[in-house]
Amino acid sequence: MDFKSSDTITGPRTEDHLPLTAQAAAKIVIVGGFGVGKTTMVGSVSEIKPLTTEETMTQAGIGVDDNYGSKSKTATTVAMDFGRISITDQLVLYLFGTPGQERFWFLWNGLFEGALGAVVLVDTRRLEVSFDVMGRLEERGVPFVVAVNDFPDAPRYTLDELRQALDLAEEIPIVRCDARRRASSRDVLMTLMSFLHSLTMSAAST
Amino acid sequence: MIPPQRRRRHPTQEPPPPPPLKLEGPKDGEGERPPERLYILTGEDGERAPIDLVTLIVARADPPRSAAPEQSALLRLCQSPLSVAEISAYLNLPISVVTVLLTELLTAELVQARAPVIRQARADRSLLEAVMHGLQKL
């Protein structure tokens, strides 16, 4: 990767600068299968134009037919689109989505660690593409809610049918949304926050 | 029409440890090794500060003359607080490279890092309430 010479680097626009008082940031991860609208959701609620960050990893034999036992290493770049919401002058919330390559997210150390929670975005035309991601969140104990991104030509199931199909625990919220609409995406984040809040309340009462 | 059916999984006691890296090639049935990070700009095995994607970085000083171009660019970007993810995006460098740069700048006390809010066993209720309040205003 070539480093851009410093005079070609464009930093944030003046209006995108965080105040000097910004003390801490939290993150939320939006997951789901390819093309389900994760980047759309990030873009619809972000106060900045979504940016892309990436991590480069090497892995032996990704997609390499290694018949001769030679050591081949392939560099894999995992990209994440993300956006930002200033909550207060002190607190900032970051939302991470991704264009694809789900199998690598969980190898990206630090992506899910420390995240407040996750939104699993599902498309009823391809419900099964989200199964593996949901299982991995469950294994890691990352709390999540499910948002059904309604596409016009998608099969209509009731939320109860979807809850059953996704084998969701009773307490996990599932809502419909239109990821293109800011208010709708905002409501999904609010659903996640309320859920996390209820988890802390029930933890406090035990 | 019946949707496909998933089966729920359960928390593993500990996150599955990555299989140990071996010097010899993969044996049958374990063709995939866990990815390792690439450290490009420095080859030193220096200590790394715990830097998260959303650690906020603020420059404490102007770039010294001796600073590498990447470090100078980073210091100029961070006149106001910027997350590690944003630095990576603006500099067009992978997170692991930015982390190495930041570790050096932190050691030289040229930047300040503001630790992220992370999920704990018991999340901070007032934090969640602040976030909900902020989202309502969107």
Question: Is residue B103 situated within a structural domain?
Answer: yes
Domain range spanning residue A108? 21-64+71-205
Q: How many domains does chain A have?
A: 1
Q: What is the mean pLDDT of residues A91-111?
A: 78
Best of B23, B117, B120 to substitute, by most chain A Cβ atoms within 10 angstroms, is B117
Q: Note whether B84 and A20 are within 8 A (CB).
A: no
CA-nearest residue of chain A to B122? A200
Question: Is residue B26 situated within a structural domain?
Answer: no
Nearest CA among B98, B74, B72, B66 for reference residue B85: B98
Mean pLDDT, all residues of chain A: 86
Question: Is residue B65 situated within a structural domain?
Answer: yes
pLDDT of the residue at B126: 87
Question: Is residue B66 situated within a structural domain?
Answer: yes
Question: Is residue B119 situated within a structural domain?
Answer: no
Question: Is residue A9 situated within a structural domain?
Answer: no
Question: Is residue A173 situated within a structural domain?
Answer: yes
The residue behind tokens 């018991």 is B122
Question: Is residue B72 situated within a structural domain?
Answer: yes
Among the partner-chain residues A24, A70, A107, the one whose CB lies closest to the CB of B116 is: A24
Contact residues, chain A, for B85 at CB < 8 Å: 51, 53, 80, 82, 94, 96
* Residues B18-76: tens digit of each pLDDT: 444 433 433 444 444 444 433 333 334 444 447 899 999 999 999 999 889 999 999 99
Nearest CA among A62, A71, A65, A74 for reference residue B22: A71
pLDDT of the residue at B79: 94
By CB atoms closer than 10 A (0-12, 13-18, 19+), residue A183 is exposed
Question: Is residue B35 situated within a structural domain?
Answer: no
Q: What is the mean pLDDT of residues A194-202?
A: 91
Domain range spanning residue B93? 56-114
Q: How many domains does chain B have?
A: 1
By CB atoms closer than 10 A (0-12, 13-18, 19+), residue B39 is middle
Starting at the edge strand found earlier in the chain, the sheet holding B82-83 runs B82-83, B56-59, B111-114
Question: Is residue B22 situated within a structural domain?
Answer: no
pLDDT of the residue at B47: 45
Question: Is residue A84 situated within a structural domain?
Answer: yes
Q: What is the mean pLDDT of residues A91-117?
A: 80
Question: How far, in Å, CA of A189 to CA of A93, rounded?
Answer: 11
Chain A interface includes B62 (CB < 8 A): no
CA-nearest residue of chain B to A1? B93
Contact residues, chain B, for A199 at CB < 8 Å: 123
- Looking up residue A98, the CATH number of its domain turns out to be 3.40.50.300
SS (H, E, C) A133-152: HHHHHHHHCCCEEEEEECCC
Question: Is residue A60 situated within a structural domain?
Answer: yes
Question: Is residue A31 situated within a structural domain?
Answer: yes
Question: How far, in Å, CA of A168 to CA of A165, rounded?
Answer: 8
Chain A interface includes B91 (CB < 8 A): yes
Q: What is the mean pLDDT of residues A106-118?
A: 82
Chain A interface includes B85 (CB < 8 A): yes
Give B66-69 contacts, CB < 8 A, sequence gap 24+.
Answer: B67/B110, B68/B41, B69/A3, B69/A5, B69/A6
* Residues B115-132: tens digit of each pLDDT: 888 777 556 788 899 999
Helix (H, G, I), strand (E, B) or coil at B126: helix
